[in-house]
């Protein structure tokens, strides 16, 4: 009797049992296939995980699946493995995980999947290296498992699914059990992609001669092809990391293998894409938040069929199926946008590493400012380290300095010293970039008479005044309202604006330098498609004297004419409640600074601060990011924080102000009762912003120096939370490896 174990999107960590569809041959029931199944009073799309011979439910209660939806599994074996891994690691329901892996169009029933061509991926099984000593005692009561295990043990290269099938008809179940026991690994045997990749690799641009470090790095990465490894490419801004990527990609294409490139935000990397397009004429596809469902499905299917050679995409592109994946690149690997911040909270960089391991291909992580996690992995020898310490093409590193603004005259957040420098660089026809990580005109509107301020009715936050649209907006929940003409509290018309946003800096600069051409770039004026590209094009073409922007301007762009960078509000970040705040400021400062002085022009970076003695800023400015990172890692070690301590954050929120805290206290007591060695729960603590979008928020930090112990606890905790009646009174979520505690 075949019982289908089906993953269906639901908040419960379980699978659902079904009987096979009528008239479906046994061998068509392949894991990874989409099924239409009755669910409640409706129908849903589920993914077949396994075919078993038992069910916990009485057979009479099992319903029958309607049909298999695709001629072959929608999720190939390596993605099924990744999904299982991710579900276990992030303690997130498998149904929601596999659903996240599918393009939206395939999650719905009414879409028909057209034009999918069969892939020829075969599965391959190998014994895990560490488990050779396992006693057959363990497998005593599972004869087929023992048989498979011994067969695999006897063959160094492992066995194909076909070979194992000869040992017993329910080999799939048995091998799955061995995998679950950690005794066997499943891989996708690499297959050859059609020859068209080879035929079209010559692009239009000319390749620069690599400098020594680039050459070493490129050779190392070419040599890494064909097996799994993780390499951190740490290269100062402008050192030519992209060129190293391009060389590895070329070598990969020459071996008829596909490439996945993950980038933080597609809108922020038009230049990277442009360079790929110039270098390679093969099929390059993009996947990002603006990609339509239809388009996403097409790219997904073509990559799966091996017809697309390079996929460049944001976070969720890590789930793209490939016929023959040869390498994975994660550009700006430190970027926070790789972490999904709601629902299934995965980290795309970390999943990329797991995927590389399953596909046996190299993973290259690139950054000028690597995450402390990756640096720690280098220190323990898990990741290989390559560095590019010099700028390419003879460009000099920028000269970075702190500008002490204490007691100095400030004009709308701009110090006199900085304004003088701007005037100087304008005169020398240099381009100037001013960085401020806050959009809008002013973050606070206040009554000068009674102190009333325009606060968001739903959050513990002020509303930001946006001058162009003349609205007050909450940047946390999106609430909006009209700007009051007079104070709602005392009715006087004496309102003042406190603080600066990019709009205000733009106005102040326009006032001071009336003939300068100014371009502002932030989320507010780049919403429409193509706006960012056109502003960036103007900026690089030199149609602007002064660029003003938020972090959108800080990442990855190459502005050849920039000679002066002013960082305006670093102080704000120094007071953040988050333990990762300093790491993020350091990364941002280095990234922004990297925009200065490319292509031979001397660059200068000025950081305005009221804290010129701040040790973090001092080390960063005088010794650079690697020294900063060393100190920061040391601090994290002493404070027992990530990456030395493994963290999970349980968040709870509710409209009632007392519920979340009570709930987390209950959970905390449960955790203590579970008594898992080396695991602590800290809190409950109120979230740094207690009320957001009308809900009160609390959190419980669960930590352990041993990842294994943390996961032992979470393995028990997650199902317990699902059945805890109090869980229904709050909105809760579990975040493994949180990137922020805010």
Contact residues for ligand ADP, defined by CB under 6 A: 208-211, 214, 235, 237-243, 392-393, 558
- Does position 495 interact with Zn ion (CB under 5 A)? The reply is no
Q: Report the nearest approach of Zn ion to the CB of residue 355 (Å).
A: 37
Q: Which is nearer to ligand ADP, 243 or 583 (CB)?
A: 243
Query: What contacts 58, CB < 8 A, 6 or more positions away?
Result: none
Q: Which is nearer to ligand ADP, 210 or 477 (CB)?
A: 210
User: Of these partners, Zn ion, ligand ADP, none, which one is at the site of residue 489 (CB under 5 to 8 Å by kind)?
Assistant: Zn ion
- Does position 385 interact with Zn ion (CB under 5 A)? The reply is no
| 135 CB-contact burial (10 Å; exposed 0-12 / middle 13-18 / buried 19+) | exposed
Q: Which is nearer to ligand ADP, 78 or 243 (CB)?
A: 243
Among 162, 196, 416, 489, binds Zn ion (CB under 5 A): 489
Whole-angstrom Cα distance, residue 283 to residue 253? 11
Report strand pairing: 495-498 vs 444-447. antiparallel
Q: Per CB under 5 A, which region of 129-137, 329-337, 484-492, 727-735 contacts Zn ion?
A: 484-492
Q: Report the nearest approach of ligand ADP to the CB of residue 625 (Å).
A: 13
Q: Which is nearer to ligand ADP, 237 or 582 (CB)?
A: 237
Among 446, 487, 548, 713, binds Zn ion (CB under 5 A): 487
Element (H, E) at 273: helix 270-279
Q: Report the nearest approach of Zn ion to the CB of residue 493 (Å).
A: 9
Whole-angstrom Cα distance, residue 166 to residue 511? 81
Query: What contacts 166, CB < 8 A, 6 or more positions away?
Result: none
Q: Report the nearest approach of ligand ADP to the CB of residue 388 (Å).
A: 7
Q: Report the nearest approach of ligand ADP to the CB of residue 200 (Å).
A: 22
Q: Report the nearest approach of ligand ADP to the CB of residue 366 (Å).
A: 7
Q: Report the nearest approach of ligand ADP to the CB of residue 394 (Å).
A: 8
**How many CA atoms does the CB half-sphere of 276 hold within 13 Å?**
25
Picking from 18, 171, 33, 13, the residue whose alpha carbon sits closest to that of residue 92 is: 13
Q: Per CB under 5 A, which region of 31-39, 57-65, 489-497, 557-565 contacts Zn ion?
A: 489-497
Sheet with 122-127, edge to edge strand ranges: 159-160, 122-127, 184-189
Q: Which is nearer to ligand ADP, 555 or 580 (CB)?
A: 555
User: Of these partners, ligand ADP, Zn ion, none, which one is at the site of residue 509 (CB under 5 to 8 Å by kind)?
Assistant: none
Whole-angstrom Cα distance, residue 349 to residue 231? 12
User: Of these partners, ligand ADP, Zn ion, none, which one is at the site of residue 498 (CB under 5 to 8 Å by kind)?
Assistant: none
User: Of these partners, ligand ADP, Zn ion, none, which one is at the site of residue 142 (CB under 5 to 8 Å by kind)?
Assistant: none
- Angle of helix 94-101 versus helix 77-90 axis, rounded to 10: 130
Roughly how many angstroms between the first and final C-alpha of the chain, as a whole number? 50
- Does position 454 interact with Zn ion (CB under 5 A)? The reply is no
Residue 34 contacts residue 18 (beta carbons within 8 Å): no
- Does position 474 interact with Zn ion (CB under 5 A)? The reply is yes
Q: Give the count of residues interacting with Zn ion (CB under 5 A).
A: 14
Given the structure tokens 């695709």, which residue do they identify? 70
- Does position 511 interact with Zn ion (CB under 5 A)? The reply is no
- Does position 476 interact with Zn ion (CB under 5 A)? The reply is yes
Element (H, E) at 388: strand 384-388
Q: Which is nearer to ligand ADP, 316 or 587 (CB)?
A: 587
Query: What contacts 630, CB < 8 A, 6 or more positions away?
Result: none
The radius of gyration of the chain's CA atoms, rounded to the nearest angstrom, is 28
Q: Per CB under 5 A, which region of 84-92, 315-323, 468-476, 512-520 contacts Zn ion?
A: 468-476
- Does position 459 interact with Zn ion (CB under 5 A)? The reply is yes
Picking from 458, 549, 450, 447, the residue whose alpha carbon sits closest to that of residue 498 is: 447
Q: Which is nearer to ligand ADP, 389 or 672 (CB)?
A: 389
* DSSP state, residue 542: T
Query: What contacts 107, CB < 8 A, 6 or more positions away?
Result: 9, 45, 99
Q: Per CB under 5 A, which region of 119-127, 145-153, 302-310, 457-465 contacts Zn ion?
A: 457-465
Q: Which is nearer to ligand ADP, 93 or 556 (CB)?
A: 556
| Bridge partner residues of 724 (DSSP) | none
Whole-angstrom Cα distance, residue 595 to residue 601? 11
User: Of these partners, ligand ADP, Zn ion, none, which one is at the site of residue 393 (CB under 5 to 8 Å by kind)?
Assistant: ligand ADP
Whole-angstrom Cα distance, residue 629 to residue 681? 28
Q: Report the nearest approach of ligand ADP to the CB of residue 376 (Å).
A: 22
Q: Report the nearest approach of ligand ADP to the CB of residue 591 (Å).
A: 10
Picking from 689, 622, 654, 587, the residue whose alpha carbon sits closest to that of residue 373 is: 587
Residue 347 contacts residue 737 (beta carbons within 8 Å): yes
Q: Which is nearer to ligand ADP, 244 or 328 (CB)?
A: 244
Q: What are the two backbone dihedrals, phi and then psi, of residue 131, each rounded to the nearest 5 degrees?
A: -105, 15
Among 48, 353, 447, 681, binds Zn ion (CB under 5 A): 447
| Bridge partner residues of 235 (DSSP) | 388
User: Of these partners, Zn ion, ligand ADP, none, which one is at the site of residue 631 (CB under 5 to 8 Å by kind)?
Assistant: none
- Does position 458 interact with Zn ion (CB under 5 A)? The reply is yes
Q: Which residues bind Zn ion (CB under 5 A)?
A: 447, 449-450, 452, 456, 458-459, 474, 476-477, 479, 487, 489-490
């Amino acid at each position: 009797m075949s019982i289908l174990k089906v993953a269906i999107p639901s908040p419960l960590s379980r699978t659902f049992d079904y009987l096979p569809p009528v008239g479906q041959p046994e061998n068509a029931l392949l894991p990874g296939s989409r099924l239409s199944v009755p669910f409640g009073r409706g129908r849903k799309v589920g993914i077949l995980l396994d075919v078993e011979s038992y069910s916990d439910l009485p057979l009479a209660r099992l319903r029958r699946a309607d049909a298999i939806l695709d001629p072959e599994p929608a999720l190939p074996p390596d993605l099924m493995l990744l999904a299982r891994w991710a579900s276990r690691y992030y303690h997130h329901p498998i149904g929601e995980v596999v659903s996240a892996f599918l393009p939206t169009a395939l999650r719905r029933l009414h879409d028909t999947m057209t034009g999918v061509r069969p892939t020829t991926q075969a599965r391959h099984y190998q014994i895990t290296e560490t488990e050779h000593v396992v006693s057959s005692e363990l497998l005593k009561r599972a004869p087929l498992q023992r048989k498979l295990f011994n067969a695999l043990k006897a063959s160094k290269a492992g066995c194909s699914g076909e070979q194992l099938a000869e040992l017993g008809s329910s080999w799939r179940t048995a091998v799955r059990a061995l995998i679950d026991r950690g005794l066997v690994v499943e891989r996708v045997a690499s297959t050859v992609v059609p020859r068209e990749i080879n035929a079209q690799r010559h692009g239009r641009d000319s390749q620069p001669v690599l400098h020594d470090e680039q050459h070493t790095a490129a050779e190392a990465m070419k040599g890494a092809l064909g097996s799994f490894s993780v390499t951190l490419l740490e290269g100062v801004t402008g050192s030519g990391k992209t060129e190293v990527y391009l060389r590895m990609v070329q070598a990969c294409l020459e071996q008829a293998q596909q490439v996945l490139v993950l980038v933080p935000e597609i809108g922020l990397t038009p230049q990277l894409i442009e360079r790929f397009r110039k270098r390679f004429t093969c099929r390059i596809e993009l996947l990002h938040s603006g990609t339509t469902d239809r388009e996403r499905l097409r790219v997904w299917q073509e990559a799966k069929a091996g017809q697309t050679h390079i996929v460049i995409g944001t976070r969720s592109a890590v789930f793209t199926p490939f016929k023959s994946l040869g390498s994975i690149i994660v550009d700006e690997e430190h970027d926070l946008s790789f972490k999904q911040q709601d629902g299934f909270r995965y980290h795309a960089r970390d999943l990329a590493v797991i995927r590389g391991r399953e596909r046996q291909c190299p993973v290259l992580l690139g950054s000028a400012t690597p995450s402390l996690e990756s640096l720690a992995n280098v220190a323990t020898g898990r990741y290989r380290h390559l560095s590019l310490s010099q700028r390419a093409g003879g460009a000099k590193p920028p000269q970075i300095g702190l500008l002490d603004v204490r007691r100095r005259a400030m004009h709308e957040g701009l110090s006199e010293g900085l304004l003088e420098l701007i005037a100087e660089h304008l005169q020398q026809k240099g381009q100037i970039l001013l960085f401020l990580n806050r959009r809008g005109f002013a973050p606070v509107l206040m009554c000068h008479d009674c102190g009333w301020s325009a606060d968001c009715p739903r959050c513990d936050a002020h509303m930001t005044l946006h001058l162009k649209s003349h609205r007050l907006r909450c940047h946390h929940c999106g609430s909006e309202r009209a700007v009051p003409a007079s104070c709602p509290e005392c009715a006087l018309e004496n309102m003042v604006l406190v603080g600066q946003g990019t709009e205000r800096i733009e106005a102040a600069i326009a006032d001071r330098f009336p003939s300068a051409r100014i371009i502002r770039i932030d989320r507010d004026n780049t919403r429409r498609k193509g706006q960012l590209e056109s502003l960036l094009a103007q900026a690089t073409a030199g149609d602007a004297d002064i660029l003003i922007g938020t972090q959108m301007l800080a990442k990855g762009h190459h502005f050849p004419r920039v000679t002066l960078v002013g960082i305006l509000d670093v102080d704000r970040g120094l007071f953040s409640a988050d333990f990762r705040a300093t790491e993020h400021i350091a990364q941002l400062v280095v990234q922004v600074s990297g925009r200065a002085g490319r292509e031979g022009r001397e660059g200068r970076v000025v950081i305005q601060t009221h804290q010129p003695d701040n040790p973090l800023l001092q080390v960063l400015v005088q010794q650079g990011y690697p020294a900063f990172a060393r100190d920061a890692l040391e601090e994290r070690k002493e404070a027992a924080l990530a990456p030395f301590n493994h963290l999970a954050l349980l968040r709870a929120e509710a409209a009632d102000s007392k519920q979340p805290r009570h709930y987390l206290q209950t959970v905390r007591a449960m955790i203590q009762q579970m008594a898992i060695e080396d695991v602590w729960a800290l809190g409950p603590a109120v979230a740094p912003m207690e009320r957001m979008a009308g809900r009160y928020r609390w959190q419980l930090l669960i930590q352990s120096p041993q990842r294994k112990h943390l996961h032992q606890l979470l393995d028990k905790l997650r199902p317990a939370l699902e059945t805890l009646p109090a869980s229904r009174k709050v909105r809760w979520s579990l975040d493994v490896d949180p990137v922020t505690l805010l």
